[in-house]
Amino acid sequence: MKQAADSEGRALSDGPISVSAAFEGNESIAEARAHAWVFLRYLQAELGVPVSERAMDIVQLVVSELVTNTRKYAPGPSLLTLDARDGAVSVTVWDTEPQLPVVRDTNPIRVGQHGLEIVMAVCRSLEMHREPVGKRITATIDLAEDPVGDVADRRP
């Protein structure tokens, strides 16, 4: 996993804070979740941005679901980007597969393939776009749904 950040010495009032990680396909999904945890912890501990425990859990869940889909259905590398702005974090995953995923109807009998259904249920918004190469999926999550429920000092 290769990482890049543009968040050195900045506050959310200065504009979005972003961090990205490139995945070659041999990393674990846990590495992507940990990447999100470190970013959110930085926002809270270093910049004083309220991040509820619920938001921490939801962001890690969304990262896990989107990166898992990329690993299962898209050949080649992928890119995870987290952007914090206006009290929310956008989780964007780019991969090389141009076909957009289909969100299936809720079906409690179906085993598996509930990832996007779950993401849609817990996020403020979900957008899918074809790119010149591949596709980009972005889910946006509010950071402080419960402003008093700050992130505990725990690792995923």
CATH number for the segment(s) 2-8+17-142: 3.30.565.10
Name residues of the chain where pLDDT drops below 70.
Answer: 1-14, 107, 110-114, 145-156
pLDDT value at residue 138: 97
CB 98, CB 130: distance < 8 Å: yes
What is the rounded distance in angstroms from the CA atom of residue 80 to the CA atom of residue 126?
Answer: 15
Give the model confidence (pLDDT) of 65-108 as tens digits. 999 989 888 878 999 999 999 999 999 999 999 999 887 777 67
Q: Which three-class secondary structure state does DSSP give residue 141?
A: strand
Domain regions of the chain by residue span? 2-8+17-142
What pLDDT, on the 0 to 100 scale, is given for residue 4?
44
The confidence score (pLDDT) of residue 19 equals: 96
- DSSP assignment of 62-95, as one string? HHHHHHHHHHHH--S-EEEEEEEETTEEEEEEEE
Token representation of residue 42: 């930085």
pLDDT at residue 147, as a whole number = 42
Q: How far apart are CA 152 and CA 149, in angstroms?
A: 8
What is the predicted pLDDT for the residue at 39?
97
Q: Which of 101, 99, 96, 102 is nearest to 134 (CA)?
A: 96
Q: According to the model, what pLDDT value does residue 18 have?
A: 94
What does the alpha-carbon distance between residue 31 and residue 67 come to, in Å, rounded to a whole number? Answer: 10
pLDDT at residue 137, rounded to an integer: 96
37-55 residues labelled b (16+ CB within 10 A) or e (exposed): bebbbbbbeebebbbbebb
φ, ψ for residue 15, nearest 5 deg: 125, -175
